[in-house]
Amino acid sequence: MLIDIHSYIGNWPYRGLRGNTLDAMLARMNRFGVDKAVVANINGIHYVDFQTANEELNAAINSNEVFKNRFIPFATINPILPWWRDSLEICHKKFSMKGIRIYPVYHKYKITEDACIELVKEARDRNMPVSIPMRMSDLREASWLDVQEALTYNDIASLVSKVPDAQYIILDARLTDTQEKTTDQSIKILQNADVLFDTSRGAGVPCKGPNGESLHYLLNTFGAQKLAFGTETPFLDYCSPFIRIAVFKEADEATKDLIWSGNVRRMLKI
Amino acid sequence: MLGTSLSGVLCNVPSKQKNDTNKEAQTKEPGFQQKGWESMFTEAVKYRKLDAHNHVAFAGLSPADVNESCERLGITKAACSFPGGKTPREIRDNNNSVLQAMKAFPDRILGQCFVNPTFRKETLEEIDRCVDQGMVMLGELYTDVKVNDPLFYPVIEKCIGLKIPMMWHGVNLLGNWRKGYGLASPPNSSLPGDFVDIAKRYPEAMIICGHIGGGGNWEYNCRILRDAPTVYLDTSGSITDEGMIDMAIEYIGVDRLLFATDINYETGVGKIMWANLTESDRKKIFFDNFNNLLKKRGNHVN
């Protein structure tokens, strides 16, 4: 089984996307053999009322019986807004969403802010993993209206240290050469947590560029139980994420099975 | 599978159906191609590829790792440089590292000579030295001097005479074209408009703008470089946005695009595989276009 932990529907204000509907995503999933995809609605980043985006996603999922089996919806939650608890309740109980996605940089709060910690604790109590994209677009190509910063592994670890028993999925997992180095303490925190690192930005070959991640580093540092396949569609070309795993020869077949779906199946209990 | 496109716009050729040997597989819907990605990968590796922009020795990249990375992606040969050096001596040492890599892996690594035209006399001598020892082009000329700075004129004229290409680090970070916003490269970085400018002065030169996906906004690149019909654009860089290569095809043209990785091996290949390309056009980008440039001096791959 092959599960993509990192996909979106919706629109991005700074450039046109294609393949950003469930129909289009399903077509490429079928062509490449992807059984299921974890999906969120990126409209929730820019809508003030993020819950509208969750309602859109829920309506899209329910528009086709096939979608219900093939997509795993995650709720976009902004804990700064006072209706986040009600929204989370609806997304969890009524919409059957399996996890949440948060955007501290876009929603303008610190990742260790009380509101965020409360949200993560609430998600933990509902057995909903918390997915966190480290960035949404490359800062070098960004619009003047876009954010100008990205999260680091230290940022993620600072949240994990506050709620160590929650489940986390780190999306667009990479630390560029110009970002703050990951401390030993952060590494220990992430090693001891229930965390999955998205492979969509990881190099499977021995060489790693300055703006990418190394799958060798992630595997050697955090272990085979902590990597999970993601495509970041529709932002990225759809071929590269598969090629990354294909050329990752240092990972044996058992490890690749965990990456393709085993680890996320465990976390999501599917 | 790959006769036309994978990106869903033009592709209408079904993948080879593979036997479902995965007991966990649950998806049995019509059109579902179990492990369809493997067909894509197999085809991707088969294409002959010439990498017009890569590095070795630089940033700790060992020749052995470069060779192994190329092997895994089916990259026939990679043109590599070690950009940087504050003095002619340092530059020479860095180029020597590339020469050593070429000797270590003569079937894989092509050499790019790095120079800084601030050191005029040493630069012209270094080009002769490196070309005499088998380097095939200049690259990756960096941010010390803009591509259209008169300091580069004698360098470009020499390369025209030698019939070798030149590749510059092309950038257009937000902070470079909209002051006060976002990241910016050093002020002497070469922007797309600078390439347009130098191409008008030297239309016979083989000028390559480095990495559509490495130094900023690719839409900006495509719009501006449309006005420089003799400039080539390499497809490297860590940015691998869906639609990027397709826009370059539309605005720059298939014949002016050169496959490259700039250390981003998987995305270098993946973005070309995902683009809306015919089989023959994909071969042009992966191999033929750059090979035709190398052929001018007889450095091509048969």
User: Considering its fold, how many domains does chain B have in total?
Assistant: 1
Q: What is the mean pLDDT of residues A232-243?
A: 98
User: What DSSP state is assigned to residue B254?
Assistant: G
Helix H or strand E segment including B208? strand B207-209
Instruction: Identify the closest residue of chain B to A25 by CA–CA distance.
Output: B8
The percent of residues above 70 in pLDDT, for chain B, comes to 91
Q: What is the pLDDT of residues A98-118, one digit of tens each?
A: 999 999 999 999 999 999 999
Choose the closest CB to B41 out of A18, A233, A243: A243
Q: What is the mean pLDDT of residues B1-16?
A: 46
B 227-266 residues with CB < 8 A to A: 238-245, 262-266
Distance from CA of B145 to the nearest CA of A (A): 21
b vs e for B103-123, b when ≥16 Cβ sit within 10 Å of the residue's Cβ? eebeebbbbbbbbbbebeebb
Return the CATH number at B131. Answer: 3.20.20.140
User: Considering its fold, how many domains does chain A have in total?
Assistant: 1
Choose the closest CB to B266 out of A30, A34, A244: A244
β-sheet bridge partners, residue A249: none
Q: Which two tokens stand for residue A71?
A: 């997509």
Q: How far apart are the first and last CA of chain A?
A: 11
Q: What is the mean pLDDT of residues B279-292?
A: 98
Pairwise CA distance, residues A167 & A172, whole Å:
17
Neighbouring C-beta atoms of residue A140, cutoff 10 Å: 25
Return the CATH number at A120. Answer: 3.20.20.140
* Residue B280 resides in a domain: yes
The overall average pLDDT reported for chain A is 97
Pairwise CA distance, residues A54 & A42, whole Å:
10
pLDDT at B8: 53
Distance from CA of B296 to the nearest CA of A (A): 31
Name the band, by pLDDT with cuts 50, 70 and 90, for residue B26.
Answer: low
Q: Strand B207-209 relative to strand B109-113: parallel, antiparallel, unpaired? A: unpaired
* Residue B218 resides in a domain: yes
Pairwise CA distance, residues B112 & B166, whole Å:
9
Give the structural domain span for A30: 3-268
pTM for this entry: 0.95
pLDDT at B216: 85
The predicted complex's ipTM stands at 0.97
Does the pLDDT at position B20 exceed 50? Answer: no
Greater confidence, B202 or B10? B202
* Residue B4 resides in a domain: no
In the three-class reduction of DSSP (H, G, I as helix; E, B as strand; rest coil), residue A137 is classed as: coil
In the three-class reduction of DSSP (H, G, I as helix; E, B as strand; rest coil), residue B76 is classed as: coil
Say if residues B237 and B263 touch (Cβ distance below 8 Å): no
Q: Which of A61-65, A119-123, A152-156, B186-190 has the lowest mean pLDDT?
A: B186-190
Give the structural domain span for B218: 47-295
Q: Is A8 on the interface with B (CB under 8 A)?
A: no
Residues of A in contact with B33 (CB under 8 A): 30-33
Residue with structure tokens 């003569």? B106
Choose the closest CB to A209 out of B9, B41, B238: B238
Strands of the sheet containing B50-55, edge to edge, are B50-55, B77-81, B109-113, B137-141, B166-168, B207-209, B231-234, B257-258
